[in-house]
Amino acid sequence: MTQITPHLTRLVTSSDPVPAPVQAVCRLSMLDWMACGIAGASEPVSRIVRAQVLEEEGARQAVLFGGGRAPVRAAALVNGTVSHALDYDDTHFAHIGHPSVAVLPAILALAEQRDTGLPEVVDAAAIGMEASVRAGIWLGRAHYQAGFHMTATAGAIGAAAGTARLLGLPDAQVAQALGLAATRAAGLKAHFGTMGKPWNAGIAASSGVEAVQLVARGFEANPDALDGPHGFGATHFGESNDPGIDWQLPQVRHKFHACCHGLHAALETLGALDLAAPEVAAITLRTHPRWLTVCNQPAPTTGLGAKFSYRTALALGLTGRDTARLSTFSDALAVSADVVAARELVTVMGDESLTEEQAALEVLRRDGQRLTAFHDLDAPVDMAARTDRVQAKASALLGDETAASLRRLIASDRARAADLATQMEV
């Protein structure tokens, strides 16, 4: 059985530089995360959490998406929640979690307070995001299937690892910080399709950075709280898998549909067939059975619920709505007559022969013709092509000028954390 605390501690305190390809993917995720956060700043859940923090918290240490300043811990809570409000941020399928929204809010808030340069931010962010994925692999699918939201649990560990890297904590304190973060790591899949899901990401970011700040001040905690007999793994259905030493971050996936990533392979298959609802008599979608408990809400009545519904997402596509647009996943469209009618054409089935990143679609047309399509999100994608799609997505969310400004900042080794923070108030 693999012990994760020594593994992650070595990752955090290693003197080896983060490989350039990993840094490049990290910067791309930073652009994606910033775009999602700025675009999501006016969402209802964003306004509620931001108002709570601004009314209750004192020190003005870090900028919030949408405006205002708050203590580092509170800023991480707000910015994690806001950047996941649209559910449009990156995903890693090795542990079915969203690395950026749990780690970057913690890193950037602390880096802003400390006036850190962007290269150090990228370094810490890459370590934190990598740690979150490896912690999730260590916990395994049993943890996720039991009902825990991996973004919230493994994400809190990643946020602690990244902020510990930023502060340069020694081995002993890193282990304690990881253990302390473990006692706060929490989040339930029961909240998917509600405001509780993005809040889970905010909790992870907040918990991770708070644990590191406390340990840096001399707070003592059990360094075996992840691995021990009464530790997080043992009490949260952890499998103690070996995460390996190869970098996982380059395999992160960026979203190009404004919904749960579990729906994306299905939507790509539909796009390949170029169908409209009047042509269709029936659709059968096959997906990995694990997604049936995540994004298979059969008849949601809200836009948030539609983001976790195969039938509704496919119906939106069939009725000509662009699933890359935020406005497509609205309360009104989720219950519109044509979408509800198209939804009834769709049957969803689990298929163990498919991976979690694959989907297969079979369509019976009204003229009797049968069509099939298949998509695998794990198929290799050229880095240049992926960069172009993320940049186009940022432009669609923010406008060309703001997106271009963000791209220049994130690409610059002379920029500082505070330069990025000023963009968050847009």
- The mean pLDDT of 10-20, rounded to a whole number, is 97
- Give me the pLDDT at residue 87, please: 92
- The mean pLDDT of 326-335, rounded to a whole number, is 96
Tell me the average pLDDT of the chain.
95
* One-letter amino acid for residue 99 of the chain: P
Cα distances from 235 to residues 17, 43, 95, 230, in angstroms, run: 34, 35, 18, 6
Query: How far is C-alpha 213 from the chain's CA centre?
Result: 24
| 59-70 per-position pLDDT tens digit | 889 999 999 999
Burial annotation 322-335 (CB, 10 A radius, 16+ → b, else e): ebbebebbbeebbb
Strand pairing category for 280-287 and 346-350: parallel
- pLDDT confidence bin for 198, thresholds 50/70/90: very high
- Give me the pLDDT at residue 31, please: 97
Strand pairing category for 62-63 and 69-70: antiparallel
First to last CA, the chain: 48
Q: Examine the pLDDT at 1 and tell me if it is beyond 80.
A: no
- Give me the pLDDT at residue 275, please: 87
Burial annotation 222-250 (CB, 10 A radius, 16+ → b, else e): ebbbbbbeebbbeebbbeebebeeebbbe
Residue 225 structure tokens? 């709280």
- Give me the pLDDT at residue 267, please: 97
Q: How far apart are CA 340 and CA 389, in angstroms?
A: 31
Q: Are the C-beta atoms of residues 247 and 19 closer than 8 Å to each other?
A: yes
- Give me the pLDDT at residue 393, please: 95
Q: Examine the pLDDT at 426 and tell me if it is beyond 80.
A: no
Could you tell me what percent of the chain has a pLDDT over 70?
100
Q: How far apart are CA 231 and CA 225, in angstroms?
A: 4
- Give me the pLDDT at residue 413, please: 95
List 70's β-bridge partners, or say none. 62
Q: Compute the half-sphere exposure of residue 157: CA atoms within 13 Å on the CB side of its CA.
A: 33
- The mean pLDDT of 122-127, rounded to a whole number, is 98
- Give me the pLDDT at residue 262, please: 94
Q: How far apart are CA 69 and CA 75, in angstroms?
A: 7
Residue 100 structure tokens? 């950026």
Query: How far is C-alpha 374 from the chain's CA centre?
Result: 25
Residue 287 structure tokens? 């997906």
* One-letter amino acid for residue 257 of the chain: H
- Give me the pLDDT at residue 29, please: 98
Residue 26 structure tokens? 């990290």
Q: Which domains occur in the chain, in start order?
A: 4-253+384-423 (1.10.4100.10), 261-376 (3.30.1330.120)
| 351-409 per-position pLDDT tens digit | 999 999 999 999 999 999 999 999 999 998 889 999 999 999 999 999 999 999 999 99
Sign of CA dihedral 104, 105, 108, 114: negative
| 151-194 per-position pLDDT tens digit | 999 999 999 999 999 999 999 999 999 999 999 999 999 999 89
- Give me the pLDDT at residue 58, please: 75
Name every residue whose Cβ is closer than 8 Å to that of residue 211 and which is 6 or more positions away in sequence: 160, 177, 178, 180, 181, 184, 221
Annotate 182-243 with DSSP letters as a single string.
HTT---BGGGTTSTHHHHHHHHHHHHHHHHHHHHHTT----TTTTTSTTSHHHHTT------
Q: How far apart are CA 94 and CA 137, in angstroms?
A: 6
Could you tell me what percent of the chain has a pLDDT over 90?
95
Annotate 336-379 with DSSP letters as a single string.
-HHHHHHHTTEEEEE-TTS-TTEEEEEEEETTS-EEEEEEETTS
> Residue 372: which region, alpha, beta or left (left: phi > 0; alpha: psi -120 to 50)?
beta
Helices then strands, each counted (H, E), the chain: 19, 6
- Give me the pLDDT at residue 416, please: 97
Q: Examine the pLDDT at 200 and tell me if it is beyond 90.
A: yes
- pLDDT confidence bin for 314, thresholds 50/70/90: very high
Q: How far apart are CA 364 and CA 129, in angstroms?
A: 43
Q: How far apart are CA 220 and CA 244, in angstroms?
A: 29
Q: Examine the pLDDT at 226 and tell me if it is beyond 90.
A: yes
